[in-house]
Structures are given as C-alpha cells and as structure tokens.
Structure 1
Amino acid sequence: MITNLILLVLLSNAAAKPFIRTTRNNIFAFQSKQAPTVTAPLSKNDFFTIIEDPKKRGATVLEAPVEQEGVKLYIAIDSASFQNKDRPGNGGIRLLSYQSKEHAIDDAVRLAKGMTRKHDMFRTGFSGAKVVIDHDHEDLSVVKRDTLMRDAAKALKALDGSMYTGCDLNTSDEDMDFLTKFTDDKYVLAGRNSRVDTNAATASSVIGSILGVLDVNNEIISELTFTVQGCGKVGSIVARELLRYGAKCVQTCDLFSENAEIPGCVPIDDWTKSTCDFFVPCANSLAITETVANNFPEGVKYCVGAANSPYANERARSVFDERGVLHVPESISSAGAILADSVEWYDIDLYQTVERSLMYGWIRDISRTKSSSLVRKADKKATNIGTVLRAVVPPRIGDPIGKEFPEWIKKNTVETDTVIVGGGVAGTAAAFALSEKGENSVIVERGSSIAPATASSNGDSRMYRRMYSSEFFSKMQSKALNRWKDVEEKSGETLLKENGLLFYGEDTGETVEGSVLGAKEIMDKLNLPYTFYASGDEIAARYPSLAGCKGKPYSGVCEDTAGHIRASKGEKIGIHFSNVQFHFQE
C-alpha cells in the first residue's frame, strides 16, 4: 500500500514547542501546549504534493509517497535553502512516535529552526533542516528500515542537492549505509568511510564551550561539580572528557541507570535535585521546565550541553537567567557534528583521511573561542546572553568554516622526530640526549611549565643511588651519573651533591626496593664502595638519631657516594641545550 511521506520546508517561526514523554522502547509522544494547525493539500508538482502554504504558519509542507504502513516521513528545510544548492539544508534523521501528524510537523519545524541557528552561528555553508520519521509501532524492530531509507532517498533525489542528512535519534550507521547506497553516495553526511565519530564531534563542541566559560570566569575545573544529564552516545563521551580535563566530581544521570555507570563518575538518581556548579544537559529536548528551573538546587552557575532546546519554554529559560545561571546556547555548544559536516561537504578527501583527534581539536577550539567571546560580550551576566548573541554570529556571505580546517591543521601540527610525554627529569633528559644526536623532539606536559609544582621531579630532592639488588639497575645508574656529569660540564652548573644514603632494616627477602643483603651482594660484585652494618647495634652506634635500632635484628648498607640531584635546575639546563618544543595542557 502507498501511504504518504510529508516534506516540510521551513520559512519562519514554528508552532508552540512540544513536551516529550519517553518509554523504554524509545517511543516518544509529543504534545503541544496549544492545538497544532491542521493542514490540507494545496497543489502538486511532479513528485511532491504541496499541502501547506508558507504564509499560513511559516512552512511549506510537501507530501511524497512512501511504501510502508504505519510510517510517515517529514523533512523540514529552512526557506533560505529550499531548492538552493548553494546553501543546502542540513540536519539528521530521527525516528520517533508522535501523538499526531501535526505534532510531528511541529517538532520537525522546531528542530530545523534550531539547526539553522547552529549553521548560521558558524557559517557552515548550510541552512537548517531536519528529517522526522513518525511511526505508530510499539516495537521499532518492525519498521522496515531499508525500505524506509529507499523512500527517503527518493525524496532527497527529488530535492536534487538542496538537502543533506545524517544520523539522529534512533537512526544508525547501518541506516545511513542504506541511504548512501540508494542515493548513489549523495546527500548523506554522516561520517561515512571516516574515522571521525559525529557523536564525539558533538561532545567536543560541548567540552569546548565548557572550557570557554571556565576561561572567562577564571574557574578551575577540578574545583567544580558537574552534572551530566543523559549518558547516551554524546553524554557519555562528555562525562569521560570532563574527567580527562581534570574534573574531580562528575555526576551522571540517565533514564536507563546502567548508562550512568561510567568509571570515575558518580551516578545519581535525580538530576533535578542534585547540587552542582555546572549543569550539562545531553538528553532529549525541553527537559528544563519552569518548575525544574525554579526548584533546581542552589549553587548552579552554568548550563552548557548537547541537548537541542533544553528549555521547555521561554519562561523556564528566564527563570535560570534570573537566577544567574549562565547558559551557552546549543547553537554553539552542540554544533560539533555540523562543523564536521562542513568539512565533509567541502573536502571529502580530507574528511575521510584526517586523524580524528585533529577534527575534534578543531571543533573544541572553535567552540571554546565562540563561547568565551559570547560570555565576555555578555559581561558574564546570564541575562545579557540573549541580547549579545547576534554579535557573535558571522555574516552569511563568506567562505564556510569548513574551509578553515586545513589551515588550522597547519598551525596546530608539528613535525618532529620524537614526542616525549612528560616534562620532568626523564623527559627533559631524553630531549637532551636526542638533541646531541641531532634529532628534534616535542615535550607534551600536562602542567603549565616544565617540572611544575605537582610533578614528582620538582625541586632539589630527587635522590640517586647505585645501591640496588639488581645488577642491571646499578649499572644503569652508573651510566646515568656519567651523563649528568656531562650536563654539568656543558653548563658549568653543579647539579649533583653527594650526601650518602643508608639502606637498613630487617632483611626478610626481596621487596620493591630490593633488600639490604641483595644490595651488598651487587655492590661487591661491581666493586662499588660502601659501608656495611651487621646489626642494629652497629647502626645505632654510628647514627645516634637511629638509637631505636639498638637490639633489633637489622643490618644496613651505606653508599657514601649516593646523593641528590638538583632536579628542577637540571631540567631547565637540559632544555636550554636541547632542540625541543613544548606543548602544555594547562
């Protein structure tokens, strides 16, 4: 049987925003605050039936055939790009169950408008669009996805390049494979044949926006509590990335509690009642109602996430504004996938071959810069965000942002012989040794400088010894001491200071640090000088401060030539004489 496929072309404001109800089967029912407008067919063209005039409520509604009962397909495309190949519509395909055709249309229009705001915010070269597939089945598995994608492909072909699509809620890479096949590898931007994960791309824009807010407000990420609401494909990545960037307390909440079980995070049952500094909505739209906003625990300062339209209505948004909760709009914070799409559309070869970390880094930087600019222009006041938002939107005329990616790669890529992770004693010594061989190196250090205060090799108290139970370690230490003396000679600085080292205790066998008798054996074998104390009495007699050893079954070895290294000084000297570049995380 032939049923109908509805195609929407968005021109102006959508109808009232709907509420959402979810079930375990991922069936969604949408109910508007006001009755949706009922439309009737107006005219036909060769493929679509035009069933609504754009003057009526800001959208042109087109109907096309689809060969599956119980399923309808709607596509909303911003008016500026309807049949416009120079600025085509772009937005993903979502598969949900709606209360009625009109409610599905309302949602498609709302989402397409949101996509337009994202595309305009970064001048991607696209306009907003959204594909909404409405089904009346309780079990999604009965939907014939290949048939559905074939019909969607026919509609995309009829639009002839004025719309591109990809994944969204309840659609998968497999669906996109079908769609790519049926469109002859056209009109699908979903990271196909690429290492780039569009979910990770979206998460990167969320993280970038969070970092931008922290930058302007001089906040330290480790001192804040984050609540990530929704731990699906995007939210789970955001939670893990927050931990990677140094967050110490990341609370996670999801409709399905098992999704919130992320290592290092703290699962919570109710995000609306949990105190946090930073609320990160990554679930479905419209979750922050006026009631939620009014009753959200005290202390929340920021709201930045991946959810499209996180507020149920403008009043809910106003409540958060009035409470001083600074919100970065999702047109900035959730734009990662469309930024990736911009690259994919304009340079498919680069998109399919680029190292994905570069794509994520580019997206993160763009989002971070845009967010910090917005917050500064708003003077860090929540109530000013809406007023100054237009000030960070670029003009539509100009090269799309995707064309900037190759230049960003050049500026943020360093060619080197060796990458050294860690800028402490070992890392800087390695750079020094490599430099002597004529090799270049890059040191990656998570701190803000070489040997920061948090580093294990900071200061002047790093001891050295040859007194090991392992012959290998003892010989390596002798070689290392010779290399340190080379550095001293080259720099004219004294870095090593002998002060002796006593290794003592009850010898019960080998430990992580070796053993007294094992060390004595190696010292004898390598003909290294030492003093041996056969009993606790001898140790107490030689070292009055260790009088407690008297009468104990102890023995000890003292290496008089052991000492300590002026570590921080040595690191700086090693760098001075090395051909090395640095990358600091902080």
Structure 2
Amino acid sequence: MFSLMQAARLESLHLARDPDSGLQAIIAIHNSHLGPALGGCRYLAYPDEQAALDDAVRLARGMSYKAALAGLPFGGGKSVILRPAHIPSRAQLFEAFGRMIDSLGGAYITAVDSGTSSADMDCIAQTTSFVTSTTAAGDPSPHTALGVFAGIRASALDRLGSDDLQGLRVAVQGLGQVGYALAELLVAAGAELYVSDLDSGRVQLAVDELQARPVAAEALLATPCDILAPCALGAVLNPATVAQLRCAVVAGAANNQLSSLEVADALERRGILHAPDYVINSGGLIHVALTYQGAGAAAVTAHLSRIGGRLSEIYAHAKADKRAPARVAEALAEQLLYAR
C-alpha cells in the first residue's frame, strides 16, 4: 500500500468501516499544498477492494491537478464507498461516512460524484460541515457541462480554425447528467450529434429530444467525426482505442481518459488534439469550491469563462515545446503543487 502511495505521491490514505450501516469507505488525499483536499465521493459496486483503492488514488491525483490549474485554493482528494448488495438504510450509511470525514478535521471536503446525489450530501451534512453540493448548494453537473462546452470551442478553434460548432460532427460517449447537458449545449450551437450510452433509454431520449444519431457503444470511438467527447468512465483512451479514432479532437468530461501518459503521445503522433481532462472538466469543481466558500453565481460564471483560455494557453505551450498537451498540463500543475 505504501508503494502505491509513493508512486502516486499521495499524502494520506484513510479507511473506515461501520458494521451497523454497512459502510466501507476509502478517502485518498493526494496533495494539500494549496489548501484542504476537495473531491467527490463515488458510490459504486467495485469488483474488488483493490479496484476501489486504485480508483480513489487515481482520482485524487487528478483532483489536485484540476484544482491547481483552475487556480483554486484547494488540494486534491477523492473518496469511494464500496456499494454493498444490501444496506439497512442509505441515509444511515452516508451519515456514517460524514462522521468519517469529520474525524479528519477539515483535511478533506466531499461532494457528489458517480453514484451519489445532493440528497446523499444532505445526509453527510447531518454529521459534518465538510461537505458541499448539497441540495442547497446545487448540482455541479451543469457547470461541468458548461466548462466542457467552452473547452470544446477552444479546441475547435485551435485544431479546426474556428470556434463555431455549426455543422460539426460531435460524438458524445455517455449521456449521464454531464453528458446529456453537454449534448444539449452542442445541439443548440448547431452541432450534428452522435451518441452512445449503455442505457438505451438515455440514447432514445437524445434521439427524440435532440435529433441525435444513435451509435452502438462499441462503435462510437471509430465513428468518423470532428470531435469525440468522452463523458463516461475513465481509461477510454488506450493504445487499442487510439488506433480506431477517426476524429480531429478529443475533448470531453470523463476523468482519467488516458490509460497512461504515453497514450497522449500516441494521440499527438496521429495529429489528434486531446484536451487534458482535468482542465476541460473543471467546471464542476469550480462550482463546488466557490459555492463552499460562499461565492455567488456571478463569481462562478466568471471563473468558468476562463477554461477555454486556459486550454488555449496549454495548446500554445504544447506547440512551442512539441509535446502533447497532457504533458504540458501535468508539468504546469506540478510546478504549482510542489513549489516550495
């Protein structure tokens, strides 16, 4: 376990179980140089404990990079709750998790993520104040989508010569809360939409409401398009899938899109522009961070508007250095995180 922490440069790892509620949870704190760790809580049925641990560690690192490059006074952390087959009470489980968070004394602040909701955050708030994206604070998903949309426009400008999305073919993989909100923004901007999701009902909704073209999940990555927007779970870009891509740009909301940093180099060799995920999808974090600090909607909107410009700066550095944008973004983040 310590070798895993060392490899990821993780500061601390916290495990807790509560037999009465069925809670089995992991909190990973990657870096607190810029402030307390802030990151969402996942509630998923992991195949095993190692998969849950790996997910928490990998995501915590991404949150550190995301907060640093967004200019937020927070570090990076992530929590995962192993979803059991049966629990006596969901509310009881999340209240128990709140007590775990509270025991860390503010070192970690939680928020919604895959498998959790604002209602779950309300339960956590019963036992700790170190929580955001409650019902009162609001859902961060629309803000993530707005940031990704701004990033797609910046990416289109860089690679295709214009930020006008009218008539561009955009393939959206994953129609969850963020993916569907992004699809709505793309259609409003005149893009031609191709969609896939494991939930056929979500696909049909996009067909009916957005006139999207449905594509089988296994075929979407190979679909000819201008922009591919991965909005499902991570590691979608690996040596095998990169070889299938028929797009000019990859820019989407999913975390940890690259199976390894070497995949970014493969994309670069193929002439495919990749928007580093922890830059383009930072809108949700911006919302929860500023809301937690008590900022209003105007401050959140102003901060979101910087995402496109930040990506453009990274692309310019990448061209000048002849490196993949992900390499440049990582170097910039680490300068901020490890400067002493």
**Is the 1:209–1:304 Cα contact (8 Å) retained in structure 2?**
yes
Q: Which of 15, 26, 45 is the matching residue for 1:74?
A: 26
AA partner of residue 105 (structure 1): L
Aligned counterpart, 1:100: 48
Contact kept, 8 Å, 1:370 with 1:392, in 2: the verdict is: no
The verdict on how the C-alpha distance between 1:360 and 1:216 changes in structure 2, with shifts beyond 3 A counting, is farther
Instruction: Classify 1:181/1:70 alpha carbon distance in 2 versus 1 (closer, same or farther; 3 Å).
Output: closer
Q: State TM-score, norm by structure 1.
A: 0.52
Whose RCO is larger (CA < 8 A, sep 6+)? 2
Residue deviations 1:250-298, cap 9 Å, x none? 111111122123223222223123111101000011122321111223x
- AA at the equivalent of 2:56: A
Deviation of 1:233 after TM superposition, in Å, equals 0.2
| Number of equivalences | 328
List gaps (5 residues or longer) in structure 1.
1-7, 15-56, 398-586
Structure 1 counterpart of 2:146, one-letter code = S
Correspondences of 1:264-279 after superposition (within 5 Å): 264-269=211-216, 270-279=219-228
Shift in Å, 1:192: 3.6
Query: Amino acid of the residue matched to residue 77 of structure 1?
Result: I
- By percentage of residues, which structure has more helix? 2
Residues 1:286 and 2:238 are matched in the alignment = no
Corresponding letter in the other structure for 1:312: S
Distance 1:264 1:381 in 2: 41
TM-score, normalised to structure 2, is 0.87
From 218, 227, 230, the equivalent of 2:171 is: 227
The residue number in structure 1 matching 2:61 is: 113
CA shift at 1:331, angstroms? Answer: 1.3
The 3 A distance-change label for structure 1 pair 251 and 88 is same
Alignment partner, residue 17 of structure 1:
none
Distance in 1 (alpha carbons) for counterparts of 2:300 and 2:213: 26
CA displacement at 1:388 relative to structure 2: 3.0
Q: Superposition RMSD on alpha carbons, in Å?
A: 2.7
> Of 279, 289, 300, which residue of structure 2 is paired with 1:342?
289
Match of 1:188 in 2: 131
Given candidates 110, 118, 122, the residue that maps to 1:165 is 110
Work out the CA distance in 1 between the residues paired with 2:312 and 2:220.
26
Aligned partners of 2:10 and 2:29 also within 8 Å: no
- One-letter amino acid of the structure 2 residue matched with residue 201 of structure 1: H
Compared CA separation, residues 307 and 116, structure 1 to 2 (3 A): same
- Superposition deviation, residue 153 in structure 1: 1.3
Q: Secondary structure at the match of 1:76?
A: strand
CA distance in 2, matches of 1:380, 1:230: 33
- Over residues 193-233 of structure 1, what are the superposed CA-to-partner deviations in whole Å (9 max), with x where a residue is unaligned? 24x43000111110111111223342231142100100110
Aligned counterparts of 2:332 and 2:190: Cα–Cα separation in 1: 29
Q: Which has the larger radius of gyration?
A: 1
Would the aligned equivalents of 2:36 and 2:106 in 1 still touch at CA under 8 Å?
A: yes
Identity, % of aligned positions = 25
In the other structure, the counterpart of 1:367 is 307
Contact preservation (8 Å) 2:264, 2:324: no
Post-superposition Cα deviations, 1:483-519, rounded to whole Å, max 9, x if no partner, equal xxxxxxxxxxxxxxxxxxxxxxxxxxxxxxxxxxxxx
Provide the residue aligned with 2:7 in structure 1: 13
Contact 1:11 1:79 in 2 (8 A): no
Residue by residue over 1:72-124, the C-alpha shift from the partner in whole angstroms, topping out at 9 and shown as x without a partner, is 1111112436xxxx811111111112232222111111110111110111221
Compared with structure 1, are the counterparts of its residues 63 and 281 closer, same or farther at alpha carbon in structure 2 (3 Å cutoff)?
closer
Unaligned ranges ≥5, structure 2: none
Q: Is the Cα–Cα contact under 8 Å of residues 30 and 77 in structure 2 kept in the other structure? A: yes
For 2:302 and 2:154, the matched residues in 1 are separated by: 14
Counterpart residue number, 1:411: none
Q: 1:113 to 1:396 in 2, by over 3 A?
A: closer
The equivalent of 2:142 in structure 1 is: 200
Residues 366-423 of structure 1, C-alpha deviations (whole Å, 9 max, x = no match): 11111111112222998432443257558469xxxxxxxxxxxxxxxxxxxxxxxxxx
Equivalent-residue separation in structure 2 for 1:382 and 1:174 (angstroms): 46
1:303 equivalenced with 2:246 (yes/no): no
